[in-house]
Amino acid sequence: MQKRTEQASMSVSSVMSYRRVLKALMLAGAVCAAAAPAHAAERAKNVILFVGDGMGVSTLTAARIYEAQQRGADGASNLLSFEHFPDLALVRTYSANSLVTDSANGASALLTGHRTINGALGVTDQIRAGDCASAKGQAVPTLAELAKKQGRSTGVVSTAEITDATPASLYAHTPSRRWQSDSDLPPAAKDAGCVDIARQMLDIPKAQQLDVMLGGGREAFKPEGRQDARDLVAEWRKATGGAYVETGSALAALPGDQPRVLGLFAKGNMLRESQRLAAKADAPTLTAMTTKAIELLSHNPKGYFLVVEGALIDKSHHANLAGDALNETVEFSKAIAAAAALTDPKDTLIIVTADHSHGLTISGGARETSVLGVLPGNDEDPAVALDGKAIPILMYATGPGGPAKGEPRANPDPANMRQVAQAAVPLPSAAHTGEDVAAYARGPNASAIRGLMDQPAVNQVMHDALGL
């Protein structure tokens, strides 16, 4: 009894001691913070935001392994281009109405500094999903709009439709990201005066329009994809005198001093890089679009603001195409490397982050095993699950790779791992996940990317760097 009493006394003493130490550390941190001098944000002439759609931490890890293995190197010790950037943070990604964000709210938080509800773009959280009337008077300015008021040039590059959530977050203010064309607008929204996203991009005053727009989504701008039969491309060309291109070769041939450029390289989303190569399509890579955008925007002596989205990371994840998701992440890394080589860290802030994560998991594997393969195992430890089947290294929590109702899990084929990866729970499309994402930064005010940040705080870093 006495021994137990002594142990209890020691336990209480240890807890009290821990609490005293913790209190002292917190007090010391507060004193240091109070004593630290306040520094004005470093100003940047140019800001480039790279958004890897769905590029969670597990995607980054798997992609760096994959990238090295493709060239016969060790994957575990590899780094993607932007992982060399000196400043790093974790970013919280919830929305105003959900623990897990979609791309619309995620991009809006990054581009406006305001969280909204999932599915909404460029508006406050005081709206109702798909309710046109509730969005009246709730628009919030985007960084692109504010940069234009300063006289800077602005641009967007995406491998998705240019009216999709992330690129649209630069210019659209709507309660529904799905209203890309007037064909998508419900009658109630039209009666209430809401305008589709494609029209919002091209109907706004010329002084506020983006200078460079490169991506997919041609259908929403052409008469055949619109109920009003308007040719928004022709109207834009007449109003701005800008250049319009539909192929990679046409983009490459454009003079670097062209002030206005619209490039729509696909009817919908652009092809994944594996598809583009297989089809030998005359479409630009993400790197080609990024370098051309920087070339075009750099002619403004006041600087520019550019957003580049690696959209097909997310599109691949939704289909459980793990191989393509990693390959698109590598393509994203190449575009960032090109941008870093073309810009000076003394005057250009580059931030790389994601809007949300995906449920990709890495379940082990020997260092020399292909990350797209299965656990190799050995005689003493066979790499099979309780169902007697092989264990893929990459799996998803949800998605089309799940077993059909009442059916057992398929045995993964190591020779065919670029196809749909296995998922635990079958869904038509893999769901986003809510863990923090990473942010990397280089250039003026990059040191403000640190610690654990909220997504709107990343907007503030760019806002301060631009002196808005």
Tens of pLDDT along 321-368? Answer: 999 999 999 999 999 999 999 999 999 999 999 999 999 999 988 899
pLDDT of amino acid 377: 79
DSSP symbols for 71-108: TTS-STT---GGGG-SEEEEEE---SS-SS--HHHHHH
Higher pLDDT, 105 or 208: 105
* 3-class state of residue 411 by DSSP: coil
Helix (H) / strand (E) containing 415: none
DSSP symbols for 296-358: HHTT-TT-EEEEEEETHHHHHHHTT-HHHHHHHHHHHHHHHHHHHHHS-TTTEEEEEE-S-EE
CA 25 – CA 128 distance, rounded (Å): 44
CA 293 – CA 216 distance, rounded (Å): 15
Helix (H) / strand (E) containing 39: none
Amino acid occupying residue 34: A
Residue 35, pLDDT above cutoff 60? no
Tens of pLDDT along 235-268? Answer: 999 999 999 999 999 999 999 999 999 999 999 9
Structure-token pair, residue 264: 């729509």
DSSP state for residue 159 in the 8-state scheme: E
CA 120 – CA 460 distance, rounded (Å): 20
Check 95, 103, 176, 370 and give the catalytic one. Answer: 103
The answer to whether 127 and 137 have CB atoms below 8 angstroms apart is no
Task: Compute CA 146 distance to the chain's CA centroid, rounded to the nearest angstrom.
Answer: 21
Tens of pLDDT along 427-455? Answer: 999 999 999 999 999 999 999 999 999 99
pLDDT of amino acid 455: 98
Q: Taking the CA of residue 337 as centre, how many other CA atoms within 13 Å lie in the half-sphere pointing to its CB?
A: 11
Instruction: Using pLDDT thresholds of 50, 70 and 90, give the confidence band for residue 206.
Output: confident
Percent of the chain with pLDDT over 90: 84
Tens of pLDDT along 19-31? Answer: 554 454 444 444 3
CA 318 – CA 248 distance, rounded (Å): 27
158 included as an active-site residue: no
Mean pLDDT of 382-389: 88
Instruction: Please name the residue that has the structure tokens 């250039």.
Output: 443
Measured at the alpha carbon of residue 298, what is the angle toward residues 292 and 300, in degrees to the nearest 5?
Answer: 135
Q: Taking the CA of residue 2 as centre, how many other CA atoms within 13 Å lie in the half-sphere pointing to its CB?
A: 0
pLDDT of amino acid 351: 98
Residue 168, pLDDT above cutoff 90? yes
Structure-token pair, residue 171: 């210019």
| b (16+ CB within 10 A) / e for 42-76 | eebbbbbbbbbbbbbebbbbbbbbbbbbeeeeebe
Helix (H) / strand (E) containing 439: strand 437-442
pLDDT of amino acid 23: 52
The reported pTM is 0.91
Helix (H) / strand (E) containing 129: none
The answer to whether 217 and 266 have CB atoms below 8 angstroms apart is yes
Closest Cα partner for 64 from 84, 50, 49? 84
